[in-house]
Structure 1
Amino acid sequence: MTDHARDLEAVREATDRLLSATGKMDDGAVAEPSLLPGWSRGHVLAHLSRNADALVNVLQGRPMYANSETRDADIERDALRPLSEQLADLRASGAAFLAAAGAPGDWSRTVTLRNGVTDPASRIPFRRWAEVELHHVDLGVGYDLEDLPEEFVIRENDFLAERFAGHPGVVPTTAVTEDGRLWTTGGGAEGAAVTVRGTVTDILGWLCGRRDGSALTVTGGSLPALPPL
């Protein structure tokens, strides 16, 4: 069972790491490209702030975003701000999420996210944790996948394997680590079953689209191309 209170503390710690790293940048660094194609570091920071707002909406029973166009426009609008404004927004929006998620509520209820996706309310803190951790990596400031907490890496692999399970574009796939951890995913596409072997972090890099999978060993076919997150 998801421990939302424990995950919320993990969000707090991850946000502190992110704010510390961001505070070492300057306006020029914010405008430089991130590791996400087409996005500057400012885009990543703006997205993180607006995602915090959006998850507050979810927890309080409102639509996550008014629509996809508004979401994208807000990120573009906020991406060009100087570092001081980015930091202030990131700090304030993150604190607002922590306050909303820390309020008493029915954590067994189902909430609605983007595109009609539903999830138990108790998993929203983990979703925010994933946003903060992965986009910290995307900033390209020395925080890499190998720096992520082990618990997070394992649970994000669980989450992503579940997300792609049965996907019509992915053949049955099993990912295995050297120490025997195992995830199954795909299965909606016809084709021979594939086994992927590698470190838990390299498996995460492939599942979350941050690495090309070249460090993985694949048997039974080629490495499946996963849909974007």
Structure 2
Amino acid sequence: MIDHVRDLASVREATDRLLDAAASWDNATVTQPSRLPGWSRGHLLAHLARNADALVNVLQGRPMYASAEARDADIERGAGRPLDVQLDDVRATAERFDAVGREPADWDRIVELRNGVTDRAARVPFRRWVEVALHHVDLGVGYELEDLPEDFVLREIDFLAERFAGHKDVPSTGIRAEGGRMWTTGGGAEGGPVAVSGPAPEVLGWLAGRRDGSALKVEGGPLPQLPPL
């Protein structure tokens, strides 16, 4: 069951963890490459701030972004700012998102995100948690998938397995994480069934495009190549 209040608390914790880690940087650190191709750490921080604003728009019934071009331009414009400006922006926008999330609302309503994607309002805080947690890893500053809370890892595997279910480019795939949790996904492409197993952080890394899957055990065919998120 989705508990948006609990997820909002997890977002706050994840945001504080990221801001505490970044507080020791200097301005040069912001300009260094992140783990995302073509993006510096400054791009990631700018994205996190703009994403918080965008999810406020979603919860308040407005378009998430004015356009894809405006989203990209805002991130590019904000990427080169000094560290203190970046962190103030991430902190302030996170506080705005949290404040809107605490307002009385119909959390069962359907809201619209990017590209026509819809979801229940109650799942928006988890989506924000995903942004903060995975991009903390993407910063490449010593925080890894293995450091993520176990409940987050399993829930994000749930989410991504559902996202790729029936995808036309993904064969039928069964996934098992160490500890016994199992998922199925894909099924829209020829081939399979493929069985994929390994530690939960490695499974998440493969599904989220953060790891190549070389640490996973694969049976029944090659490791499926997943489409970008």
TM surpasses 0.5: yes
Aligned to 2:154: 154
The whole-number CA distance in structure 1 between the counterparts of 2:192 and 2:226 is 16
Structure 1 runs of 4+ aligned residues shifted over 4 Å read none
Equivalent residue, structure 2, for 1:68: 68
- AA in 2 matched with 1:191: G
Alpha-carbon distance, 1:190 to partner? 1.4
Identity of aligned residues (%): 69
The answer to whether the 8 A contact 2:31-2:40 is kept is: yes
TM-score normalised over the length of structure 2: 0.99
Equivalent residue, structure 1, for 2:42: 42
Structure 1 stretch 175-184 or stretch 119-128: which is displaced more?
Answer: 175-184
Distance across 2 between alignment mates of 1:186 and 1:91: 38
Alignment of structure 1 residues 1-229 onto 2, 5 Å = 1-229=1-229
Task: Determine the C-alpha separation between the residues in 1 that align with 2:20 and 2:177.
Answer: 32
- Cα deviation for residue 84 of structure 1 reads 0.8
Runs of 5+ unmatched residues, structure 1: none
Whether contact under 8 Å (2:35, 2:138) holds in the other structure is yes
The CA deviation string for residues 173-224 of structure 1, in whole angstroms up to 9 with x for no partner, is: 0111232110111111111210001001100000000000000010000000
Amino acid at match of 2:47: H
* Matched position secondary structure for 1:169: coil
Count of aligned pairs: 229
- TM superposition shift of 1:24: 1.1
How far apart, CA to CA, are the structure 2 residues paired with 1:60 and 1:148? Answer: 29
Displacement of 1:99:
0.4
Tell me, in whole angstroms, the C-alpha distance in 1 between the residues paired with 2:101 and 2:14.
15
CA distance in 1, matches of 2:6, 2:184: 26
What amino acid is aligned across from residue 25 of structure 2 in structure 1? M
Q: Is the 8 A contact 2:173 2:192 kept in 1?
A: no
Matched AA of 1:198 = G
TM-score of the aligned structures, taking structure 1 as reference length? 0.99
The CA distance in 2 between the partners of 1:151 and 1:121, in whole Å, is 20
What RMSD in Å do the two structures reach over aligned CA positions? 0.6
Q: Report how far residue 3 of structure 1 moved.
A: 0.4
